[in-house]
């Protein structure tokens, strides 16, 4: 028996789900309700990992403040989950695309079509870290439902040797992980998939939830949110322009025309527009207090009221 066969056979993500053994005999409704009931277990599994997610978020915020970056590394579905989250950070939070980057085994082609064998070489993962210029101040999150993807482990080991903070996100149990090159692990154990081994199901859902939690919480802690509104969004299309106007209207109580005017006066910067309206100040004064308050709108309004 091949060693790899034995390794895969023992993974939690490769076990058979007893509730779906007769899935090929079920009606469409029965299959859908089964998938839905299994998906409902994912949030609970993620909840158990919040203490570990807290550590990752706090470390990430510290690194962002000191010029660090976040890299996601994965293969197949896991890699695509990283790409989805990284791609959403610039339009949602106004970050430069280099701040949160995603790397998938097999490159861009693997986003749309499986690249067979691309994940099997750890040296390729290490090479990607070197090409991206990963530094000691960065964080690298490897995403691997199976915990064992060679491309991901190679990237993590290389990053750890550089001094970067390394995290493995997997849906296998923590007690089964013994890699010496990890600073933290996040292990929501979602149980066997409805379709045996198809980690695009519950495992991918758990990964998506965790990654969204990490970046959203980090960005809130960096002042990119006012109350519960995105105030650092980039106005890169008509939908986002209209969303920005609505945010300014909600935050300040002004009407549509005034919100449009404020965005023009502020240089299309939502935070500045909000402060200008609430504090009845100039663009320059709003920009100054924002700088003094590390970009937090609420603290900026408090500072400007003191002057």
By annotation, the residues acting in catalysis are 88, 119
Contact indicator for 155, 125 with CB cutoff of 8 Å = yes
Which residue is associated with the tokens 């994912």? 42
Between CA 304 and CA 208 the distance in angstroms is: 39
Task: Provide the pairing of β-strand 229-230 with 225-226.
Answer: antiparallel
Find, among 242, 248, 222, 184, the residue nearest to 63 by Cα: 222
Reduced 3-state DSSP string for 249-305: HHHHCCCHHHHHHHHHHCCCCHHHHHHHHHHCCCHHHHHHHHHHCCCCHHHHHHHHH
* SS3 state of residue 169: strand
Burial class (CB within 10 angstroms; exposed 0-12, middle 13-18, buried 19+) of 111: middle
Q: Which two tokens stand for residue 129?
A: 């870290």
Q: Are 105 and 25 in contact (CB under 8 A)?
A: no
* Residues facing 139 on adjacent strands: 70, 165
Beta strands across the sheet bearing 139-143 = 100-104, 70-74, 139-143, 165-169, 184-186
């Amino acid at each position: 028996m091949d060693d790899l066969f034995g390794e895969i056979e023992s993974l939690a993500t490769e076990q058979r789900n007893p509730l779906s053994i007769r899935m090929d005999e079920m009606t469409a409704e029965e299959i859908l309700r089964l998938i839905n009931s299994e998906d409902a277990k994912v949030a609970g599994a993620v909840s158990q990992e919040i203490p570990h997610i807290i550590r990752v978020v706090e470390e990430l915020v510290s690194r962002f403040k000191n010029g660090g970056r976040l890299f996601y590394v994965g293969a197949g579905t896991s890699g695509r989950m990283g790409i989805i989250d990284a791609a959403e950070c610039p339009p949602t939070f106004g970050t430069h695309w280099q701040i949160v980057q995603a790397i998938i085994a097999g490159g861009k082609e693997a986003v749309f079509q499986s690249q067979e064998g691309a994940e099997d070489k750890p040296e390729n993962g290490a090479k990607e870290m070197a090409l991206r210029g990963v530094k000691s101040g960065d964080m690298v999150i490897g995403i691997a439902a199976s915990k064992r993807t060679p491309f991901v482990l190679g990237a993590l080991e290389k990053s750890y040797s550089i001094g970067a903070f390394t995290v493995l996100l997997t849906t296998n149990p923590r007690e089964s992980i013994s890699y010496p090159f990890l600073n933290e692990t996040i292990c929501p154990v979602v149980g066997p998939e409805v379709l045996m081994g198809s980690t695009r199901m519950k495992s991918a859902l758990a990964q998506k939830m965790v990654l969204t939690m990490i970046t959203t919480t980090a960005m809130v802690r960096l002042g990119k949110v006012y109350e519960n509104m995105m105030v650092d969004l980039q106005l890169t299309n008509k939908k986002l322009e209209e969303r920005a106007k609505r945010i300014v209207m909600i935050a300040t109580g002004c009407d549509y025309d005034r919100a449009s005017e404020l965005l023009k006066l502020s240089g299309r910067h939502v935070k500045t527009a909000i402060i200008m309206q609430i504090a009845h100040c100039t663009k320059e004064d709003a920009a100054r207090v924002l700088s003094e308050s590390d970009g937090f709108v609420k603290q900026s309004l408090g500072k400007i009221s003191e002057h």
